[in-house]
Amino acid sequence: MKSRYDNEMELEFLSRSNNEAFARITVAAFCAQLDPTIEELADIKTAVSEAVTNCIVHGYEDTEGKVKIKATLLNDEVEIEITDSGKGIEDVELARKPLYTTKASLERSGMGFTIMESFMDKVEIHSVVGIGTKVIMKKKIKKQENIEENMEENALIN
């Protein structure tokens, strides 16, 4: 019998770079409820770090504001929403492109969105200039234990 699993959390913090580690570790700890593999957890950590850093570096630049994270677990999927009320992105399709960066002078590589897209299953970007940016990322967690359990069950039946 399949039971539905759900949970939700929200986090709000100042756009200071020393909160980047706090944010990715907290989200990863919350997602650990779904029994992800070490690799899946590392993927989530990296994607969250990219999105949060973008809010701090590009969204707020030299100003300070709030970064909001909402994480939702539903069955075997995690959805993470990361929002800033900063300057927004003019051309989202261009921003998504590998190596595209507006801050090359600060040694940014323009790989942030590319990493989010390849480490998560789905990445949506909603942005309005002057209002802010919201990134929504989804990832299915492939349950290792369950696969093993099912194999054991199947072995017993056979």
Partner 1 sequence: MNSKFDEENHILYLEIAEEIDHHTTEKIRRRMDYEITRFMPRKIVFDFSNVSFMDSAGIGLLIGRYKLVKLLGGTAELINANKSILKVLEMSGILKIIPIKQAV
Residues with a catalytic annotation lie at 50, 54, 108
Closest CB 134 distance from Mg ion, rounded Å: 15
Closest CB 112 distance from partner 1, rounded Å: 5
Task: For residue 96, state whether it binds partner 1 (rule: CB under 8 A).
Answer: no
- Contacting positions for ligand ATP (CB under 6 A): 50, 54-55, 58-59, 84, 86-89, 95, 100-103, 108-113, 133
Our CB check for partner 1 shows the closer of 72 and 101 to be 101
Q: Hey, what are 140's tokens?
A: 């299915």
21 makes contact, choosing from Mg ion, ligand ATP, partner 1, none, with CB < 5 to 8 Å by partner type, with partner 1
141 makes contact, choosing from ligand ATP, Mg ion, partner 1, none, with CB < 5 to 8 Å by partner type, with none
Contact between residue 99 and residue 111 where contact means Cβ atoms under 8 Å apart = yes
Burial annotation 13-33 (CB, 10 A radius, 16+ → b, else e): bebeeebbeebbebbbebbee
Helix (H) / strand (E) element for 52: namely helix 38-54
- Contacting positions for Mg ion (CB under 5 A): 54, 112
Closest CB 147 distance from partner 1, rounded Å: 20
DSSP-assigned letters across all residues of 99-151: T--S-GGGT--S-HHHHHHHHSSEEEEEEETTTEEEEEEEEE---HHHHHHHH
- Which residues ranging from 47 to 86 are in contact with partner 1 (CB under 8 A)? 49-50, 53, 56-57
Q: Is 132 left (phi over 0), alpha (psi -120 to 50) or beta?
A: left
84 makes contact, choosing from Mg ion, partner 1, ligand ATP, none, with CB < 5 to 8 Å by partner type, with ligand ATP
